[in-house]
Structure 1
Amino acid sequence: MTIVGSETLLEVRGVRKSFRSGNRQLEVLKGIEMSVESRRLTMLRGRSGSGKTTLLNLLGGLDRPTEGEVLFRGLPLQQWSDKRLTVVRRKEIGFIFQSFALLPLLTARENVELSLRMAGIPRAEWKKRVDRCLELVGLTKRAFHRPSELSGGEQQRVAIAKAIAHRPRLLLADEPTAELDTLMAARIIEAFREIVEEERIAICMTTHDSTLWGAADVVYQMVDGRIVPD
């Protein structure tokens, strides 16, 4: 169901994904049907090995389906060239991986600025935007610290600020709270909720943590490569 005030950013239609494993084909995704709406927090829940990360990679154009299609704003990602996909990822999609993917020699502020540089945002806009993103994740006072001087939770929040700095339409996060304690995980989800409300960014994240599901607008349960009724 389409939620009032939102639009469908992503549609997944009959997606299957197989990988070669020795002499046989291993089918990881088995006919996925789902959508991601703008201005909503969507969670893909399921155990390790259920296909969540594989699906997330397809949603972001990091991989292509074996069958079916992934539509981003109505256009089929799997038909785009690598060059076009790279441009879209830099400008319209943000990523948060399980590893924080921060450059160790750069401060929190400089790591966020890097995202703006890669997206081609004019330098004159950097300061205001970086200040805003660090404020959203509660790290204004840690802006000039390098990753080694930050806790795991703080590094994850820098990664979030970096991922939203270029104002993407969609943020994809793979188990963003997996290595955090319960309190810090709750703070990350609180930051996600604020980002959805204030930045109007759609967030789709994977998680196996049942304590987080209640914070989502939409939850898809994955079992053995399929989305099953919750």
Structure 2
Amino acid sequence: MAVQQAAPLLEVRGVHKSFISGGSPLQVLKGIDLTVKSGQLTMLRGRSGSGKTTLLNLLGGLDQPSEGEVLFRGRPFQDQSDRQLTMLRRKQVGFVFQSFALLPLFSAWENVELSLRMAGVGKSQWKTRTARCLELVGLTKRANHRPYELSGGEQQRIAIAKAIAHKPALLLADEPTAELDSQMAAKIIAIFRDIIEAEGIAICMTTHDSTLWEAADVVYQMADGRLEPE
């Protein structure tokens, strides 16, 4: 009996994206086709200006394509209202950015717990889930420290714990290692692999660091708004 392949979590079909610049259209994405599957680490590689961040914004429903469609679990983002997209992002998607986006007066624990509150997770789950996420990123012993008491790498790990607290199906990370040294960058990728194994989610990240590509399940090269699988 043939084994049925699981459907992609996310599909991008014939996507173009243009912006108006100086009164003229600027085409940033030029016919992107892409799939992202649960349980995989997907990397989008390319130089600055290649369209990586624009594509990542479309994958998270933060923006809409000029042409083509983005489907999450088979349903196009374009068919959903702003409220539905907001709820989908809140429940199903986590975001990690270069800037750590942590609240400076909150401890690491409080930053992670806040993500659960905003996602509407029941209060009875906050303590267990917050502890679990801090454990996954290896910062249980730093739970009571505020961001200014943590290194850059530790802050990024807290940002990752915060992004996965509500158990999203998809984690999107825009250059999450860009501000880190090579040793800490490798640590972040190892954490991503641990999270995939433990949570079964899909992670899609952008990077220009060639030392990280071998850790991915799928790597796409971006250049001039186009995408090609490795």
TM over 0.5: yes
Question: Match of 1:17?
Answer: 17
Distance in 2 (alpha carbons) for counterparts of 1:123 and 1:215 = 36
User: Residues 46 and 56 from structure 1, CA distance in 2 versus in 1: closer, same or farther, beyond 3 angstroms?
Assistant: same
Number of the residue aligned with 1:68 = 68
For 2:182 and 2:7, the matched residues in 1 are separated by 32
Contact 2:219–2:229 at 8 Å: present in 1 too?
Answer: no
Give me the TM-score of the superposition, normalised by structure 1: 0.97
Shift of 1:198: 0.7
How far apart are residue 139 of structure 1 and its match?
0.3
Task: Give 4+ residue runs of structure 1 displaced > 2 Å after superposition.
Answer: 3-7
Q: Between Structure 1 and Structure 2, how many residues are aligned?
A: 228
Deviations 1:29-56 (A, max 9, x none): 0000010001100000101100000000
| Deviation sequence 1:179-219 (CA, Å, 0-9, x none) | 00000000000000000011111000000000000000001
Task: Quickly say closer, same or farther: Cα 1:83–1:39, change in 2 above 3 A.
Answer: same
Aligned to 1:214: 214
Letter in 2 for 1:114: L
Is 1:6–1:39's contact at 8 Å kept on the other side of the alignment?
Answer: no
**Root mean square deviation of aligned Cα:** 1.2
Q: Secondary structure at the match of 1:69?
A: strand
Q: Percent identity?
A: 73
2:89 paired residue number: 89
Residue pair 1:100, 1:156 contacting (<8 A) in 2 also: yes
Q: Do the aligned partners of 2:8 and 2:35 also contact (CA within 8 Å) in 1?
A: yes
1:20-99 to structure 2, matched below 5 A, reads: 20-99=20-99
Match of 1:136 in 2: 136
2: CA distance, partners of 1:179 / 1:161: 18
Q: Which residue of 2 aligns with 1:150?
A: 150
Q: TM-score, normalised by structure 2?
A: 0.97
Do the aligned residues in 2 keep the contact of 1:39 with 1:196 (CA within 8 Å)? yes
* Unmatched segments (≥5 aa) in structure 1: none
Q: Which amino acid aligns with 2:178?
A: A
- Residues 107-160 of structure 1 show CA distances to partners (whole Å, capped at 9, x for unaligned) of 000000011001111111111101110000000000000001100000000000
| Structure 2 unaligned spans of 5+ | none
**Alpha carbons 1:7, 1:38 under 8 Å: kept:** no
